[in-house]
Chains A and B, each alone.
Chain A
């Protein structure tokens, strides 16, 4: 396909959200109408809602402010790239803050009822049979956040303009749920609620060619791989008397590996070993050195994040 074709347009009025079926190869544009408006966003596999966007994995891979060129990943054990950020005219989004909720506005501001992202998401997701418990951590578009020196997350005002947008390309069929953030008494959207525009259009071949390859690994499991593939349908938790634990790679077995170091090797080790942590336990310090070296030499991604094949 050489030209984008518009499939859907919708104005998200303040206080509202919309669940939209976004099929593989389609793009959702979330666009500022007046400017300075944060959008919260949830995303589910359209054919299996138990697979959903995981901000934790996403921020590990792409940092706290995913932007153009980043993927939105699903939670373990699926861990697939669900969406690709194809364009971002601002470049300031957030996967650090949770969605605002009724509790926040009641506890901090005394509101009995107030627009809030959790309840807006829940109401939008209800159209597809989901419950308030299914709302997950949000990808916060156009939200300016950071971490202060004390380790606390903070938010500040944004400087987006009318026409600024983020384009999200679906890599699988998803239910995409954006909402106008309900915060009008916080800095998130500069103390006002404004509309946002949604546009869904087909991606062109050029758009699709811009997506880097991501790994396809055996560890990306689906329900056919689960020991318990059935979704639990009642609320209480009861012990399964037939349960027998089967944890991977257990029991953990320890092997002792003697390493003979020459005087020169020992001297080199002594100059860099973490005696501040391991004291006189040279075995633990050498194990630390070994895997720290391995990370430096072979790890292609940030520690704890999956590697991504580049273009």
Chain B
């Protein structure tokens, strides 16, 4: 399976928040930050599903 490209459209304020987050050492660059977000967000939803199997719509 090949890689997929998603083109995010972000304004200067959203990029500023990302850059300040990167400056805290959370991720080395913007793309890495987004990949981290996907991993952690998906993991959190998976954990929620295990904890609350009957809750179809947790706090998202």
Contact = CB atoms under 8 A, between A and B. Distances in A.
Interface of A: 249, 252-263, 265-266, 268-269, 271-272, 274, 282-283, 286-287, 289-294, 296-298
A271 B44 CA distance: 12
Contacts of A255: 9-12, 15
A261 B6 contact: yes
B42 A249 contact: no
B25 to A, nearest CB: 13
B8 A289 contact: no
B52 interface: no
Contacts of A252: 11-13
A254 B60 contact: no
B7 A258 contact: yes
Q: Is the contact region of chain A dominated by helix, strand, or loop, or is it mixed?
A: helix
Interface string B37-60: 111111011100000000000001
B9 A289 contact: no
Given A257-B10, A283-B8, A265 B38 contact: yes
A234 to B, nearest CB: 37
Nearest to B16: A249
Contact of A257 (B4, B21, B31, B41): B31
Contacts of B34: 257, 259, 286, 290
Interface residues of B, number: 33
B4 A261 contact: yes
Given A252-B11, A260-B4, A260-B5, 5 more contacts: A258-B6, A261-B4, A272-B42, A272-B60, A287-B8
B43 to A, nearest CB: 8
A261 B21 contact: no
Contact of B60 (A263, A282, A292, A297): A292
A257 B5 contact: no
Given A249-B13, A294-B17, A296-B44, A261 B7 contact: no
Contacts, number: 104
B17 A265 contact: no
Contact of B9 (A249, A271, A287, A298): A287
A284 to B, nearest CB: 8
A247 B22 CA distance: 27
A256 B10 CA distance: 6
A282 B42 contact: no
A269 B9 contact: no
Contacts of B10: 254-255, 257, 287
Nearest to B32: A259
Contacts of A282: 6
Residue from B4, B7, B11, B30 with most neighbouring chain A CB atoms (10 Å): B4
A244 to B, nearest CB: 21
Given A269-B38, A274-B60, A289-B41, A262 B3 contact: yes
B38 A256 contact: no
